[in-house]
Structure formats: C-alpha cells, structure tokens
Structure 1
C-alpha cells in the first residue's frame, strides 16, 4: 500500500488502486511506487510528459529572458482579459504574467516582443493526432515504411506548431515513429509541438488495429495483414500494456471490439503503472470501457443512450473528432480512393455515420459536465487538411453548443487536463511551460481569429516570429 503525507492508505476497490487519486499525486510530482510503502516526498524536477520520470535539477538562471508586452492576455484560467499585459519567460518556463502595472520587467531582458493590439493566449492542444498518416496525391505509387512515416510526421509536426498547436497526443503510430518525433522536438532537431504518444493500438485479433482490410478503404493489406499482433484474453492484454509502457509510451490506446474482461484488465494494468488510457470504440464496448475507468473516449461512434450518463458518473473525458467523420460524409478522401458516405467494407465499422447524431452526443456530454477536448484524427491528405482541420474542429464544437470561451478552454486548459498535463500546460501563469500563442485579434469574439498567428513560443523557443514575417 502507498502511504501519503497524512499516513492514510490509498483507496482499494476490488483489488484496484484508485487511479484518479494516484494521478493527482503524480501530477504533484510525488514519487509513488505501487506496492511499496514509502514517504511521499516531492521530486524537484520530472520529465515534461505523463510518465513523470525524475530528472536532475535544471538550472534555467542563464537562459535568455523574453518579455511579451502591451497585448491583451487571455491566460486560460477563466478570468477576465488583462489589457496592457506582460508575460515574461526564461528558458522553457513562464516567470511572470499579469498587468504591466503590477508585473515589472527584469533588467536583463534578451528579447522584447511588442504585442500592442494583439492577443496573448496559451498554446493550443490537439488530443488526437496520427503523425504517421498518409499525405500526397500520388501516395499510392510508393511503398510505405517507418522511415517514410517519420518524414511525413516531421512535416506534420512543423505544420502544427507554426499554427499555434504546441502540444499533441499521438494515439496510434507506426513502430516508434511518434516517440522519435517527440525526441527530435525535445532536442531541438525539428520544429514541432510537445508530443505525447501511445504506441500501437492494442486490440483483439481482427479488431480495430489488427484488421486485414484498411479501415478507411476496405482494401486488403499485403499478405493478409501479416502476422497478427492482436491480443486475446485478459493476461495478453495486460502483457500488451506492459510492453507499451516498457517502450516509453505516455498513454495506452485500445481498440474495439474486445471482451469486457480484456478491456478491464488493460485499463487496470495501465492505471496501476500510472499511465492513462484512451479507446477508439463503439456500442456496448464503449460502455464497458467507461465502466472499467477508461480516461478518454475517442469519437462519438454508435454511442448508446447510457454512454453519456456513464461518462459523467466515471469522469470520462470525450475527444469527439467530429471533423474526421464529416470529411467522409462530405467528400471522402479522393486521393486515397475513399468515396463519400461513410466507412465501407470494414468489419469493425458496421454502422452508419450520422453527423447530426455526433453533434447531439457532444451537446449532451457538454451539458452533463463531461470534459470535452479537441482532436482532429485526419488519416489522409495531411498536407492540405492541416492546420485547417484543427480550426474546423473548433467550429464543430461551437455548432454543438459550446461558446467561444468554452471552445477556447477545450483547446487549452481543459485539453491540458485531459492530457494529464494540467499542472504544466494549458494556462499562462508562473511555473508553467512557456507554450504561448499571439494572434492578431480577439478569439473570444471569433474563433476564426485563431488563424491569424503572429508569434508562437513552444517550450520557450520562438518558432513563429511575427516581426520577422
């Protein structure tokens, strides 16, 4: 049993640790080792991801100081806009943020950004990306490979961060491509958002993630899909989770269909190791996953009438990716040979896609108090669909009944909380990571103003310089 500062043991229900309490303690940078009684001692520095690995203390005192002055600050905390604001960063952290009258500038500012007439807000978050997805009108001519996927992902990373999307969660990748993109961004080799990744989708044999036919096209994969990577039975699902975490995954991604026991085993295993779980699901599998404690539900596919009440009860977050399915209904993906209308020829997608039903489910979930995040999930034509797909997704959420302020919160503070990074991302305040977007006009007046990007600071680095442009 783990002992907290007050000496109380963590709740145990049915042999399962209380994940949500453990996650809160992890977010506070406490060193917790399941099964070992020890003092709860804060760790000064951890990795800036969900894994929260202890790292040596970081000396930022010699890093350059950047000051953004004169703009209107929307700090993401839900309060009123701050006119004539100052935001001060040093290295990858925010030092100060507030009204100029109460936020003095340090004497040794290395770069001063004049944001007069502009709006300052937290960097945006995309909770459902696949960096290895296809792009290009002639993609059918070329064989795919992890190397090719890495090149595509590098291009997408640049598209995202220069549009103000400074954090992204990859929920299904080829091999370890998303991990290597994460590392390349961290090391300053490429421009991109902060990446959290979940490795390969864990599924049953023949389930979503282990199908012989392509989910999008229905085309049979070479060699009948190769040797299966599906998992069968609760212990195989537990082993699959352990393998992903061993491979440095920040999140676990599950796919349906699956047995109730398989889903529960995978979710329990991940939570016992302090790693959250997302699922691509539908129908009764969705209900089973929610009841088992899954952290995020991806997509509003064939949801039952009890799904939203269950999400409210179990505090499940919702990443609806509405645009991904409207694309299928409103034109398909011509360059990939995917016709308009829905999913075809695919065993795990035997249901009708209804855009109005999707919007109604988002409305119902939002009114019930379910946290709503922004995710895109674009499988093809990334070179022309990003970053537009992200801003279109914001419009869909607005259509579902979220106000501009609600949508902006979903894209920043709420998104960070869903990502399990709420203590480090999502708002502009001292101590947070310096992920900052500066736009030309008020996004609360019109979400379209988020497209007018002037400056982007990601992890303390100025990656989009409006003055230079």
Structure 2
C-alpha cells in the first residue's frame, strides 16, 4: 500500500510485485505439497498396527504432520476448517517399514506408491547414504524416510566391495571401525558374513556403549562361520535372513534351542523369505517378462548379472537348494512364533527381480504362509520394525502423538494379506505424497 502524498519508487513497486507473486505462488501450490495445518481422515476401518482390534468408522486428526487425536466417530471431534479426507468403506493402515534394503534413489517412487514410508538401509557407501538420509528428512519429499547402518562391518576379505564395507582383521580394528560409524551418527550397525567371533565381540561391546543395535548377517556355519547361538549370546539385536543356522542338517532339537534363545534374548528376526523365494526361481524365464523390470536402471541390472551369475554360473542345483531352505525357514518361523518370537519384515531389495515396495508385500504373504496371522504380518512391517529401529515412540503405529505416516487401502488385509497391495493414498508426515 502507498501512503497518500508519497511518491512510489521503483524499489517500492518491485517489493509489491514480489509479495503479490509470492501470494499467488502459495495459492497455486498443489494440495499435496503444502504443510497442512489440520487434516482429518474420516470413516475408514482403522488398523493401527498395535495388534488391537480394528476401529470401524474411525477419525484420525492430523496437525503439522503429527496425529493429534484418533478413535471412533463420536469420540473424536473433527476440528472446524480442517481438510477432510473421506475414507468410507476403506482401510486406514500405518505406512509400512522395509527393514532390509540397500537403498538407491531410483527406488523412491516404487516404495512410496506401495505404501512403504520408511526403510532401513543395511549396507551402503557411508557418504552417499548419509546424504540420502538427509534428503529423506526434507519436508514434503515423496520418498521413504531412510535409516541406515552405513557400510558393512566385515572380516577380510569382505563379501562386498570396499566402498560399502569396512573390513577389519583384529578386535582393535573392529572397535575403531565401530566407533567411526557411531561418530558418523548411523542408526544401527550391520555385520557381514566374514566377521569372526572375536571381531563380533569387539563390535557389540562398543555398540553397547554407543547405544546402537547390532544386526547380523552370519556366514555359512558349515564353513566355520559364527553360529546364530554364539552371535545371540554376544548381544546382537537383529538376526538377518535367519542366518547362522544350517537348515539342511541341524536337528530339530537344536533348532528348538536356538528359537528359545532368540525369544529369551529378545532378538528380532528379519526372515527375508522373499529373497529365498527369488533365489529358488532365479532361472525362471518369466522373471524377465515382468513390466517392472523397465524401472530398473541398466547399471543395476548389470550388477545383478555380475554378482548373482545370471546367465553364467547359477544352475538349477542352486535354485533347488534355496527351495529347500525356504521350506525349512518357514517351518522354523512357525515354531518361533508359537514360542513368542518377534518377526520384522525385510526384503533385501534390490537383489535380482526384487522390486522395491512390491517385494515387501510379497514378504508379508510369505510370512502368513509361514504361520503368522495377517495381523502379525502387518505388525512385522509396522510396530515390530519401529521397535527395532528404536523409534517406536513416533513410528510404526497410528496413535496420538506419533508421526502421521499412513495409507488408505481399498480392501481389508486382515481378510487377505494380499490386500496390502490395494493402496489408494499414501501420507508421509501428514501430507499426501502419492495418490492412485
């Protein structure tokens, strides 16, 4: 506004034009890109991830990216002026968490469009993954929230290249490498197959002081690598791939003892059954016909061919072995669940034909086929995952005070776990990041 009697200068006019442009810009920002003051999701069947009974005709009140109130219609007041998202005849579910990925930025759309709002990276270049984690924390990004263990802690020679591994040969080196990762502020620590018992002991000791969970991918126990029971005794918090157990020869009595130890030491088991399934059919020509293959960068596919021997050394004998392992792992999970074991859901994407998001839904199907109820499978990818991450205070379940990461489905996954695929809307931090 120009005061009477004063002449407007060019500078004043420029300021007015700038403010007018800014106001117009804000007005034109799409709904999904704004920080919404209040959003209400109303009318859906709420499966909150805690394991409690679903709430029909629910109301979820979101303010500033946080759930402010949640419950049935009639008990939760809808704020005046809030943006309403009607979810009648729909399902409201927490955003899913994939607990075993090797994150690449090309995966973002596939994760988000399949309802995966958080991932745990368990092996990557430190500088690159810390940068990706930072980007994932930016407001309004349509990508999953990233937590990371940084590079693998491995023995020598490392299983994977030096860019993604910290190979160590002595307990002193193991302590130094662990301390370096703690100083870098990683979210967890991941040991790889060639780590030895003295090295793992050094790592877990430093990790305990630094209050970081250690998750372990153990090597083939037939070759003298660490057994699961020994790693559990040293204090690992997560067991990847149910490794460190020879499922082809271990007697049932010993499997029972290992399961009891997992439960008594409160170890989370990330089964990655979908990985075993993929390896069991790696030679299936139908895999190359999947339309999702077009979304895989050529560089990634070349890595698949080199590391997994596609079209070279992989044979039907390898596939048959993994079919047997998959069956045995399912039997173990069925026993573990009956004993009170806790499962998390992970995939190992992007190994060959393991598509982000899609593979997590398949993992849930396989977990149900292994004896979990649909509710338990959902908890594996929500509540249990958040607990292992150490962020159950704000992620994993839909409760007042927690981050508003959620999705709206068209069909009920408690009736059929495959219905987790029926994603229609995805919110991260209370804003729509994907809509069908």
Matched residues in 1 for 2:314 and 2:127: separation? 29
Q: Which runs of 5+ in 2 are unaligned?
A: 1-34, 247-253, 289-300
Aligned to 2:229: 287
CA 1:360–1:232 in 2, change beyond 3 Å: closer, same or farther? same
Could you tell me how far 1:208 is from its partner in structure 2? 3.0
Does the aligned pair in 2 maintain the 1:374–1:410 contact within 8 Å? yes
1:129 and 2:101 correspond: yes
Q: State whether residues 123 and 426 of structure 1, in contact with CA within 8 Å, keep that contact through their aligned partners in structure 2.
A: yes
**Number of the residue aligned with 1:90:** 63
SS of match in other structure, 2:51: coil
Aligned residues: 364
CA distance in 2, matches of 1:128, 1:83: 32
For 1:228 and 1:309, how far apart are their aligned partners in 2? Answer: 32
Larger Rg: 2
Query: 1:447 aligns to what?
Result: 417
Unaligned 5+ segments in structure 1 are: 1-61, 132-152, 211-224
Task: Report whether the alignment pairs 1:428 with 2:398.
Answer: yes
8 Å CA contact 2:192–2:218 kept in 1: the answer is: yes
Give the alignment partner of residue 386 of structure 1, picking from 331, 353, 356: 356
Cα distance between partner residues in 2 of 1:122 and 1:379: 23
- Structure 1 residues 340 and 71 mapped into 2: Cα distance closer, same or farther (>3 Å)? same
The equivalent position to 1:117 in structure 2, one of 81, 89, 94, is 89
Quote the residue 2:124 is aligned against. 173
Larger RCO of the pair (alpha carbons < 8 Å, separation 6+): 2
SS across alignment from 2:119: strand
Deviation at 1:344, TM superposition (A): 6.2
Look up the SS of the partner of 1:83 in the other structure: coil
- Equivalent position of 2:294 in the other structure: none
**Higher normalized helix content (fraction of residues):** 2
1:359 corresponds to: 330
Q: How far did residue 157 of structure 1 move?
A: 2.1
Paired position in structure 1 for 2:238: 296
Whether contact under 8 Å (2:156, 2:169) holds in the other structure is yes
Equivalent position to 1:244, from 172, 181, 184 = 181
TM-score w.r.t. structure 2 length? 0.78
Does residue 370 in structure 1 map to residue 321 in structure 2? no
**Conservation of the 8 A alpha-carbon contact between 2:151 and 2:164:** no
| Residue 404 (structure 1) aligns with | 374
Q: Distance in 1 between matches of 2:340 and 2:381?
A: 16
Given the superposition, is the C-alpha separation of residues 118 and 189 from structure 1 closer, same or farther in structure 2, using an over 3 Å criterion?
closer
Check whether the contact 1:205–1:230 (CA below 8 A) recurs between aligned residues. Answer: yes
* TM-score, normalised with respect to structure 1: 0.72
Is the alpha carbon distance of 1:117 and 1:233 closer, same or farther for their aligned partners in structure 2, counting shifts above 3 Å? same
Cα distance in 1 for partners of 2:204, 2:66 equals: 33
| Selected match of 1:258 from 191, 195, 201 | 195
